[in-house]
Structure 1
């Protein structure tokens, strides 16, 4: 008889072996101890039959920034099933168990990197961040004149405070960014071969950084974060100074970036790719923290969530408070599913677009009230798990 339970510490090797098989990589013996130590941070649920692990799911306890407030987030990772146990509903049962666990711990949202977007949409997740990828030849690089700041190189073992300070500035600019703890910076950001170039203004204040790797004549820029235009130019000059080393440049930047317009030859290879997905785990506390409607005129939301039944029903928001009802009048208020609510409130899609394409239905008066409660801030996500 199959049953679901948490993996014990001595069973972490089972999770690692399944990951190696499912994701087709191999951890060397010298790296295995460190990898198992990292897994101790994960809450891992498995479905077993006669104590044989059939499938598993990892939950990482993290936080993300939405409207400059931090929300406890359950990061879903490492979802895998041995081939002989696939297509039997195991992952569905594990996802359900993981959502219940997140709800009990007060994790209001959940993020994941999908192998298949449509698959996870069935369980209430929706795209919450897309990124832009640029590939262009180094001959497109150029130098801005009269930039008086300086750039200093920072490595994994250096003092990372300047980089952290700059990154946290982006909480004002984007929704959905991960709050990075110290261990995350060293384990997940400054990975093998990557370093940072930090731009300091004339007063020696850190104002921007690029996270990059230079290898095989490719300058690979994974993050470019800046606090003002001078910092952007200073970082661009730093990138351009690699023109004798690099034949090509690759850059990963947020969805609203306009860098190609500034190039000498803007006709470059550009790709917009859906990157991460998110879902609201528990609508009631999420809406209370979000403060969607601070007025005394109630805003009524009818939410459909076919996978997390506690979110199914009507939520009346007024003066920052939320009341839940299972059997409210559907003729009043707005109707949408849990995926649409997430896309709108995190800023991945505009409320206008979602209303026009009928992902949101209801009166224009109610919609206007809903729309006015959403700050204009796009969504982004640089990290991976």
Structure 2
């Protein structure tokens, strides 16, 4: 049983009898209803046992090919034959400093009430991350119900995003050229993917997509009263789009778990042109427009009036390094230098080491494990966030989990702000 793991000393806080009985493995396709049952109980959702079992019938399964599927369901088993906890590890290819790396997106984390605080979720998380490490993936991300809870698993806060709500009358107005057209069900949605790739082409953690959003191909947006508007320049090149629906007096264009809409643009002109159209077309229909963007998208100067708008900040999930050595080998450093880091990982022993990073402009990074005093000590969450560009080196003074041993080390050449944003919902 290649993917069954008996967990011992790694499960801190468990008695010996509990550890001996705890096992974690991937669920086979015909078993997925068991994970959905745990999730339904944990999240107080409805569940039709017969229907879910029928959905999971048939379907071949190959352990070697399982990773190529879009997601793996991991489950922890206690004394019984049914799982007491589960999670879903979604597999993506994401951008990182000019490279493409594997990103594991954690979702659907759930445990039965009678089995909580017994280490089952930790066991699932540990083996799911080990699966990513064995496959060569470099990063993992999740959207937490509690940041403190997931810090115990080596995650740290991601970049800040901002939720904007702007009065219709305060949007840009004027002639920005080009044209706006509405896309109806069945029309080509490739322009949306083109704008997505232009907006995120140098953004760490953004996922490579084949289509902008498969949901748009599967759902009838007209029935949901959601609409797509695309702005194109004089050459017919797509420059901005929005997917919008009504939320009371608000034209809602945000993308989150409650509203899978969207608003993206190639540049400042696209931003202003589409919002100018929205002002002109919907001034009498809505009071405000709402959209969410990464904090690094500094669009405030493009708005003619900012005094009456609302702007809230929130974290774009949490992130951690899965393979420290690989991530250091790929990170983009400035100039030439050597930095020695000690990584601490609560779940993956493979990452608990001192690494010497040698970098020289125009050549590949060199990374080796060494036995020497590090310049800096930090966890996998802080390391992942810093390398992805969430923080500048100045933020280290406010990070109690990070200890700088050598202030003269080239920290600012390795840790500096970069565009980063987890683009998927999982």
For the pair 1:347 / 2:389, whether they are aligned, the reply is yes
**1:96–1:156 CA distance, 2 compared to 1 (3 A):** farther
Q: CA deviation at 1:289?
A: 1.9
Residues 309-358 of structure 1, C-alpha deviation per residue, up to 9 Å, x if partnerless? Answer: 21111111124111013xx222x522222222112111111122214656
The verdict on how the C-alpha distance between 1:155 and 1:141 changes in structure 2, with shifts beyond 3 A counting, is farther
Give the C-alpha shift of residue 237 in structure 1. Answer: 1.4
- Asked if residue 363 in structure 1 is aligned to residue 406 in structure 2, the reply is yes
Is 2:95–2:202's contact at 8 Å kept on the other side of the alignment? no
Matched, 1:178 2:207: yes
Shift of 1:258: 4.4
The correspondence for 2:276, drawn from 237, 261, 264, is 237
Q: Which residue of 2 aligns with 1:88?
A: 118
Displacement of 1:97 in angstroms is 0.8
Kindly state the Cα deviation for residue 60 of structure 1 after the two structures are TM-superposed.
0.8
- Structure 1 residue 276: Cα displacement: 0.8
Report the alpha carbon displacement of residue 36 of structure 1 after superposing the two structures with TM.
Answer: 6.0
What displacement does 1:273 show? Answer: 1.0
Name the SS of the counterpart of 1:230 in structure 2: helix
> For structure 1, which runs of at least 5 residues remain unmatched after alignment?
none
Identify which of 202, 215, 238 aligns with 1:187: 215
- The structural deviation recorded for 1:306 is 2.8
Relative distance call for 1:180 and 1:56 in structure 2 (3 A) is same
Query: Given the alignment of the two structures, is residue 329 of structure 1 paired with residue 329 of structure 2, yes or no?
Result: no
Count, aligned residues:
377
State how far apart, in whole Å, the 2-side matches of 1:28 and 1:251 are: 36
Q: 1:61 aligns with which of 91, 102, 117?
A: 91
* Residues in 2 aligned to 1:214 and 1:70: alpha-carbon distance in whole angstroms: 37
Where does residue 4 of structure 1 map in the other structure?
24
Residue of structure 2 aligned with 1:220, choices 252, 259, 282: 252
Specify whether residues 117 and 76 from structure 1 end up closer, same or farther in structure 2 by C-alpha distance, changes over 3 A only: same
The aligned residue for residue 254 of structure 1 is 294
Cross-structure match for 2:230: 198
**Secondary structure in structure 2 of the residue aligned to 1:46:** strand
Superposed displacement of residue 278, structure 1: 0.9
Residues 1-385 of structure 1 aligned to structure 2 (within 5 Å): 1-26=21-46, 41-48=70-77, 49-138=79-168, 140-155=169-184, 157-182=186-211, 185-187=213-215, 193=224, 194-214=226-246, 216-222=248-254, 223-240=262-279, 241-259=281-299, 262-292=303-333, 295=336, 297-319=337-359, 320-325=365-370, 328-330=371-373, 332-355=374-397, 359-366=402-409, 369-374=410-415, 376-385=417-426
Distance 1:342 1:94, change over 3 A: same
TM-score scaled to structure 2, two decimals? 0.80
> What is the rounded CA distance, in whole Å, between the counterparts of 1:23 and 1:383 in structure 2?
21
Displacement of 1:274 after TM fit?
1.4
Structure-2 change in CA distance of 1:67 and 1:188 (3 Å): farther
Is contact 1:156-1:195 (8 Å) kept?
no
Distance verdict in 2 for CA 1:33–1:273, change over 3 Å: farther
CA contact 1:340–1:360 (8 Å) conserved in 2: no
> 1:67 touches 1:172 (CA, 8 Å); kept in 2?
no
Segments of structure 2 that go 5 or more residues without pairing to the other structure are 1-20, 58-65, 255-261, 360-364
The root-mean-square deviation of aligned C-alpha atoms, in Å, is: 3.0
